[in-house]
Structure 1
């Protein structure tokens, strides 16, 4: 993965505790791309990995990659990920899947929230993304 030159990662701002598994601040110039929350559905709307957080996370990140690509973006352009999980104990599995898609040395800003439920009971997580791409790149 090549580092995006239009983004700046600030992992530890002055007087802020170091981040573990994310970057505190990411800035960039370009065109904003907002990707709606993605869940572990395949292209036919079927749930992938029922009961398996890591399998579901792999499908979620595959879906995110496809959505980003449609806008001319990639994971190197992502400035923020928001995770919604039904069990916060699944975060290590979600991070393991994430690290297969993103450069662990240039992680985006992120938030993780445990929710009571998602829109279908077989879904364990949902992830949304914000990316910034150079103005001259299109999908």
Structure 2
């Protein structure tokens, strides 16, 4: 359903965690809002800890994809926004994602962006996504 391309005329991805281009068939898209490190009980997870916050963000993202009744292979774009980004954080952020997704990591077109601040001073990581829904999609798995 979703095709990922890495044209030879473009640089190869620096890691197998993304593709240069994701192609989704025409149809419905779901836009998952930026997920921060707030758990289902409304508590912040991992104050002052990028890795713990990233893990909760990925859990929230996984739960949103699950609620759509599709798998992570339907994620066509993911944006990661990290406060006080440094090269040292990259590994721990992706380790957090692998802790949540395992082999189901959503390979897709992606963005990893260092930012000055997010919507609240305690938030260190925010992750949003776009999901391509199958043609027969007609209702949410959760509702």
Q: Secondary structure at the match of 2:52?
A: helix
Distance 1:39 1:105, change over 3 A: closer
Q: Which residue in 1 is equivalent to 2:96?
A: 97
Which residue in the other structure is 1:32 paired with?
29
1:106 deviates by 6.3
> 2:120 maps to which residue?
120
- SS of the aligned residue for 1:83 comes to strand
Residues 72, 104 of structure 2: 8 Å contact kept: no
Relative distance call for 1:44 and 1:120 in structure 2 (3 A) is same
Which residue of 1 is the match for residue 79 of structure 2? 82
Distance 1:129 1:105 in 2: 13
Aligned Cα root-mean-square deviation (Å): 1.8
**Structure 2 residue matching 1:94: 3-state secondary structure:** helix
TM-score by length of 2: 0.83
| 1:99 Cα offset (Å) | 2.4
- Counterpart position of 1:107: 107
1:13 counterpart (7, 20, 31)? 7
C-alpha displacement of 1:46: 1.3
> What is residue 57 of structure 1 aligned with on the other side?
54
> What is the TM-score normalised by the length of structure 1?
0.86
| Unpaired stretches in structure 2, ≥5 consecutive residues | none
Cα distance in 2 between the residues matched to 1:31 and 1:114:
30
Partner of 2:134: 134
- Extract structure 1 runs of 4+ deviating beyond 3 A: 102-106
How many residue pairs end up in the alignment? Answer: 133
Structure 1 residue 31: Cα displacement = 2.3
